[in-house]
Amino acid sequence: MKITDLKCALIGDNPVIRICTDEGISGFGEVEQYKPYIKPYVMHLREALIGQDPRDVERVMLRIRNRGAFKPYGAAVSVIEMALWDLAGKAAGVPVYRLLGGKVRDRVRCYNGSIRPPMAGSGPEDYAAACKWMKARPEGFSLVKMGVAFHSAQKRDFPGFSYADPTDSPFHGAYDGAPMTERGMAHVIDCVAAMKEVLGDEVGLALDCGPGWMPSDAIRFARKVEKYNLAWLEDMITGDYVPYVNADVYRDLTQSTSTPIHTGEQIYLRQNFKDLIETRAVDVVGPDPCDVGGIAELKWIAEFANLHGVLMAPHGTGNGVLGLAALVQVCATLPANFIAFEYPSGNHPWWYEIVDGLPDPIVKDSLIEVWDRPGMGVELNPERTRPYLREEDADFFD
């Protein structure tokens, strides 16, 4: 079997790729909805794939892995890796989880970081209302994640939140941290208290916090919220689109508090998790398969983290329904340090109409049954997808 072509179409806001072969089998992968601009980066890798056997996933990846980088530029490599596994599974007639060593769980737990209601403001009452809405959702999520401080409108909406003005950069994740004022710190803590009042101990609460905290503020905040038994504090020092790790600073924070500290969504490749894990600089790592280099890379990191007593909670909020399938397959194979993965949702309602293979309902009691169809097990339906293809991508299924 040989690869004959690589195609990339922008479907909605998600770049979606198709790897074609001389045996008529195709593999598909999906990039986060936040990265429509990544299409030319994907196509830059096309020539390195042509003529290769897609079933030799690692051999193919060795040809392109050095072309990636920290988020967002690991996405082009990562989506190809996932499409190769989809193709390899279809060629073998087995679900991808079998190619990754087999499943250790029949159901995988997910948490809600993507399905949130619009918020009227960024005060305690607004956060409480959002958590009430999330708690009542039919999926029965056992864990939800909310953005606060530098990962929210609080940094702009609350007067005197910090000692600096937020950056006016148009890019999400642009560094706009600063030392926090006493009033700003107290406001965030009030919002945490309001959320916990609603969620109680029935639904866990994780906080997406930054990046942007000064280490001293991060330590004070983590200690002040210890009584709320939060699932974790995410990306306080670095994260999102920050192209470095700062493991030593994270280690100081982690050792100062009993509140679990989490990071990793922006990191590309296992090598860049080495210091975080070996020094136990964080309690939880959260690589995103759409950024870290793919699902085999994520599994390697999970196994290595497990050896060091570090927990795993993969990121995935914008990965779409094909990205959801990839997360289900890999998380079925992860070791006992797996907590839950972040549930990706289709950013247009019609996404659920153009794919075959998703269960109905998808999530029940925060769990997804692992399916046994070949490959990733969720497939684009060409006839139902064609109306959503742009003119320049009209030949995507040809």
Question: What are 243-273's pLDDT values in tens digits?
Answer: 999 999 999 999 999 999 999 999 999 999 9
Instruction: Please count the other Cβ atoms lying within 10 Å of the Cβ belonging to residue 156.
Output: 12
Average pLDDT of the chain to the nearest whole number: 97
pLDDT at 166: 75
- Are 291 and 277 part of one and the same domain? yes
Number of structural domains the chain divides into: 2
| 398 lies in some domain | no
Asked if residue 129 is part of any domain, the answer here is yes
pLDDT (tens digit per residue) in 227-249: 999 999 999 999 999 999 999 99
CB 367 within 8 A of CB 398: no
Question: Do 209 and 189 meet the contact criterion of CB atoms below 8 Å apart?
Answer: no
**191 & 316 share domain:** yes
Give domain status of residue 194, yes or no. yes
- Quick check: 382 pLDDT over 80? yes
**pLDDT on residue 397:** 98
User: Which whole number is the average pLDDT over 24-47?
Assistant: 97
| Residue 12 placed within a domain | yes
User: Is the domain of 385 the same as that of 355?
Assistant: no
**In this structure, are 30 and 148 located in the same domain?**
no
Q: 398: which DSSP letter?
A: -
Give which of 249, 154, 246 is closest to 192, Cα–Cα. Answer: 154
Question: What does the pLDDT read at residue 173?
Answer: 74
Q: Is residue 111 part of a domain?
A: yes
Same-domain status, 52 and 141: no
- Return the higher-pLDDT residue of 226 and 164: 226
Tokens for 152, please give them: 């929210």
- 223 occurs within a structural domain: yes
Residues 136 and 154 in one domain: yes
Each residue's pLDDT tens digit, 137-187: 999 999 999 999 999 999 999 999 999 887 788 888 776 789 999 999 999
For the entire predicted model, the pTM comes to 0.97
Question: Residue 30 pLDDT > 90, yes or no?
Answer: yes
CATH classification at residue 238: 3.20.20.120
Structural domain containing residue 388: 3-93+381-393
33, part of any domain:
yes
pLDDT digits (tens, 9 = 90+) for 193-225: 999 999 999 999 999 999 999 999 999 999 999
Which pLDDT score is estimated for 169? 84
Q: Do both 160 and 41 map to the same domain?
A: no
- Residue 245 in domain: yes
| Co-location of 35 and 182 in the same domain | no
Output the domain CATH number for residue 33.
3.30.390.10
Q: Are both 32 and 50 inside the same structural domain? A: yes
Q: 89 and 104 share a domain?
A: no
One domain for residues 78 and 188: no
Query: Residue 1 pLDDT more than 80?
Result: yes
pLDDT tens-digit readout, 321-375:
999 999 999 999 999 999 999 999 999 999 999 999 999 999 999 999 999 999 9
DSSP state of 206: E
Residue 380's pLDDT band, with cuts at 50, 70 and 90, is: very high
Q: Which amino acid is at 127?
A: Y
* Domain co-membership, 60 together with 147: no
